[in-house]
Amino acid sequence: MKLAEFNSADPAAAQAILRPCIDVSRWVEAVAGARPYANRDGLLAFAAKAASPFTPAEVEAAMAHHPRIGERPTAAGTEASMSRSEQAGVDPADTAVADALARGNREYEEKFGRVFLIRAAGRRSQDILAALDQRLTNSPEEEDSIVAQQLREIAVLRLEGVISE
């Protein structure tokens, strides 16, 4: 969608465009409510600022929509489509990596009580696996901060893919 179209969309339509980027109502309302944006860079900068910080409750709500790394969502919605695209670097045919990711996902969920989240876009499966293994050594507090940062990056990258100049 062109920035001009986003700027002129009614509030409900603008929010619907933003929600697949990250389903955090405060963020969606803030970004939609700050329109019009002079340019795409201004929109992305505002979106990043509005996402910092996400509260623990916002992180928990947003995490409910994220699939496990290596498990591509089968739903038909925009958010599921974005997730499939972001995980394109994870080759499900590479059984060694798929098995290692499944093991790491289980360990991560046992330790932290949520799915492992990483901005997968632009990362190879080996890089994701290395990050997963490293993050398993983190404390819950360290991991909370990292997850919130990853959500911010995902939201802005998704928005960047949705809105063009």
Please state the separation of Cα 43 from the chain's center in Å.
17
Name the strand (E) or helix (H) holding 142. helix 140-162
If one counts every other C-beta atom within 10 angstroms of the C-beta of residue 31, the result is 27
Give the pLDDT confidence of 105-131 residue by residue, as tens digits: 999 999 999 999 999 888 988 899 999
Residue 80 has pLDDT above 50, yes or no: no
The pair of three-digit structure tokens given for residue 161, joined into one six-digit string: 């893919």
pLDDT of residue 121: 87
Give the pLDDT confidence of 28-43 residue by residue, as tens digits: 999 999 999 999 999 9
Instruction: State mean pLDDT over 137-155.
Output: 95
Q: How far apart are the C-alpha atoms of 84 and 72, rounded to whole Å? A: 6
Please state the separation of Cα 7 from the chain's center in Å.
23
Residue 148 has pLDDT above 80, yes or no: yes
The pair of three-digit structure tokens given for residue 118, joined into one six-digit string: 């990483």
